[in-house]
């Protein structure tokens, strides 16, 4: 059984199915407590899934079991760098250079530290995905060789070069294609409809301001703030052509990961106005109740705030469109997108993270 777990996890890891690796391995932590490969696979699955806390814990244990492993040191270095713990990141990268003077990933990290990266610059790296240039290389997906392998290699190098160039350019160079082209039609006439019973009554100036704010936040990769501005337009007395363009902007909203989530919202804020936060990514802690496992989805109620059994803030229906090992009463942190169609917010799960119980 033990070998089967690791073999399956190894295959899933090569297929980049990191949540499935976590699902299989995480419940077996005590059984594999002396196994380096177990902690290596689980730690890097967490890192690629955006769970920095889990990644740091498991990769640190892997280092204890094998203190000369280069990939483990690179993994810890990028976690420290992501947390702005530059002294610790420097220490790990220097250890790698001492063992492998030509290691390109460590030298890239040291070069970033020399340049001095602002918090905004670091966040831009995270949002654009270029921080993964500092991750240890993943195992190849296939055994293809020859022409296909050469083509893939060229594409990877080109992509890495593109990201490297764009990472160190001003933030305006990472604009999302298509966002800038969406604007309020010049011939729309009045921007607001009179005599409506909309939730938000905006002036024409306020409509223009909210629309501009939504575009600017999208271009800055602040998707949650953009979603709120867009929803305010959709819930307002804005004219139909304006709302049509706002819906086009909303199509650019993308789910966050544990690593990239910015501008999170509390349960209390979302519960007060669910429709205003529709499509926003949030991360809430709680306990599972009323678990139902179906063929295509898992559903349960998240008892928000009750993970420590001290305060129940509310009950949120959650739908997970992916498989994972859960049970009633399990303390959980859920990363999900708000579904604000009703009077009570619901979540469509993006990822979950088990919490230690007291």
d(CA 336, CA 356): 20
For residue 144, is pLDDT > 60? Answer: no
Judge contact between 273 and 227, C-beta under 8 A. no
d(CA 345, CA 317): 8
Same domain, 250 and 271: no
Asked if residue 300 is part of any domain, the answer here is: yes
pLDDT in tens, 309-355: 888 999 999 999 877 788 899 999 999 999 988 888 999 998 888 88
pLDDT in tens, 78-100: 999 988 888 888 999 999 988 88
Choosing from 223, 254, 285, the residue where a domain stops is: 254
pLDDT band at 357 (very low <50, low <70, confident <90, very high): low
d(CA 313, CA 307): 11
| pTM exceeding the 0.85 threshold for the entire prediction | no
Asked if residue 328 is part of any domain, the answer here is: yes
Same domain, 271 and 334: yes
In the prediction, which pLDDT does 186 show? 80
Choosing from 200, 233, 254, the residue where a domain stops is: 254
In the prediction, which pLDDT does 150 show? 45
For residue 232, is pLDDT > 50? Answer: yes
Q: What percent of the chain has pLDDT over 70?
A: 88
For residue 289, is pLDDT > 70? Answer: yes
Same domain, 188 and 227: yes
Same domain, 333 and 281: yes
Lowest pLDDT segment from 14-18, 153-157, 242-246, 279-283: 153-157
Asked if residue 19 is part of any domain, the answer here is: no
For residue 149, is pLDDT > 60? Answer: no
pLDDT band at 358 (very low <50, low <70, confident <90, very high): low
Contacts of residues 294-299 at CB distance under 8 Å and 24 or more positions apart, as own/partner, are 296/321, 297/321, 298/322, 298/323, 298/324, 298/326
User: Which value, to the nearest 10 degrees, does the dihedral of the CA atoms of residues 274, 277, 278, 281 take?
Assistant: -120
Around Cβ 311, how many Cβ atoms within 10 Å?
10
In the prediction, which pLDDT does 258 show? 83
In the prediction, which pLDDT does 3 show? 57
In the prediction, which pLDDT does 329 show? 92
Q: Considering only residues 13 and 324, tell me which one the structure prediction assigns the higher pLDDT.
A: 13
Same domain, 241 and 273: no
Residues 6+ apart with CB under 8 A from 157: none
Asked if residue 195 is part of any domain, the answer here is: yes
Same domain, 236 and 207: yes
Same domain, 282 and 319: yes
pLDDT band at 207 (very low <50, low <70, confident <90, very high): very high
Asked if residue 115 is part of any domain, the answer here is: no
In the prediction, which pLDDT does 163 show? 44
In the prediction, which pLDDT does 191 show? 86
pLDDT band at 294 (very low <50, low <70, confident <90, very high): confident
For residue 132, is pLDDT > 70? Answer: yes
Q: What percent of the chain has pLDDT over 90?
A: 42
Domain CATH code at residue 294: 2.40.50.140
Average of per-residue pLDDT across 219-238: 93
Same domain, 228 and 279: no
Lowest pLDDT segment from 183-197, 223-237, 260-274: 183-197
Buried residues in 291-303 as b, exposed as e (16+ CB within 10 A): eeeeeeebebbbb
**Which DSSP category does 284 fall into?**
E
For the chain, the domain total comes to 2
pLDDT band at 275 (very low <50, low <70, confident <90, very high): very high
Same domain, 234 and 275: no
Same domain, 326 and 347: yes
Same domain, 284 and 343: yes
Q: How far is CA 155 from CA 14, 148, 160, 321, 344, in A?
A: 19, 11, 8, 31, 46
Asked if residue 292 is part of any domain, the answer here is: yes
Highest mean pLDDT among 21-25, 136-140, 166-170: 21-25
Q: Which domain holds residue 245?
A: 181-254
Asked if residue 114 is part of any domain, the answer here is: no
In the prediction, which pLDDT does 195 show? 66
In the prediction, which pLDDT does 141 show? 65
Contacts of residues 212-216 at CB distance under 8 Å and 24 or more positions apart, as own/partner, are 214/246, 214/249, 215/179, 215/180, 215/182, 215/183, 215/249
Judge contact between 276 and 228, C-beta under 8 A. yes
Return mean pLDDT, the chain.
Answer: 84
pLDDT in tens, 21-66: 998 888 887 788 889 999 999 999 999 888 888 889 899 999 999 9
Choosing from 254, 284, 301, the residue where a domain stops is: 254
Asked if residue 107 is part of any domain, the answer here is: no
pLDDT band at 4 (very low <50, low <70, confident <90, very high): low
Same domain, 188 and 215: yes
């Amino acid at each position: 059984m033990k070998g089967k777990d690791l073999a399956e996890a190894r295959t899933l890891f090569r297929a980049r199915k990191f949540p499935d690796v976590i699902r299989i391995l995480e419940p077996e932590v005590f059984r594999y407590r002396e196994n380096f490969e177990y902690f290596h696979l689980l730690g890097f699955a967490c890192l690629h899934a955006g769970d920095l806390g889990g990644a740091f814990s498991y990769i640190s244990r892997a280092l204890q079991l094998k203190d000369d492993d280069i990939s483990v040191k690179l993994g810890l270095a990028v976690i420290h760098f992501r947390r702005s713990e530059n002294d610790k990141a420097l220490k790990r990268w220097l250890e790698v250079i001492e063992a492998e003077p030509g290691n390109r990933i460590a030298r890239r990290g040291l070069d970033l530290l020399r340049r001095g990266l602002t918090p905004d610059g670091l966040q831009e790296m995270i949002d654009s995905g270029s921080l993964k240039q500092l991750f240890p290389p993943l195992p190849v997906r296939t055994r293809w060789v020859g022409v296909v392998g050469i083509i893939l290699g060229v594409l990877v190098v080109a992509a890495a070069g593109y990201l490297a160039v764009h990472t160190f350019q001003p933030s305006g160079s990472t604009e999302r294609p298509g966002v800038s082209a969406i604007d309020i039609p010049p011939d729309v006439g009045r921007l607001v409809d009179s005599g409506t019973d909309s939730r938000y009554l905006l002036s024409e100036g306020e409509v223009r301001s909210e629309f501009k704010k939504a575009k600017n936040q999208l271009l800055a990769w602040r998707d949650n703030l953009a979603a709120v501005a867009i929803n305010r337009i959709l819930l307002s007395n804005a004219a139909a052509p304006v709302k049509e363009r706002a819906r086009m902007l909303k199509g650019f909203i993308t789910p966050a990961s544990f690593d990239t989530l910015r501008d999170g919202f509390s349960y209390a804020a979302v519960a007060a106005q669910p429709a205003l936060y529709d499509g926003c990514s949030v991360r809430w802690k709680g306990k599972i109740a009323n678990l139902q496992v179906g063929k295509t989805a898992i559903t349960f109620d998240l008892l928000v705030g009750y993970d420590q059994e001290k305060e129940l803030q509310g009950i949120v229906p959650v739908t997970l469109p992916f498989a994972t090992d859960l049970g009633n009463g399990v303390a959980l942190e859920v990363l999900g997108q708000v579904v604000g169609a009703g009077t009570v917010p619901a979540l469509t799960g993006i990822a979950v993270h088990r919490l230690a119980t007291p």
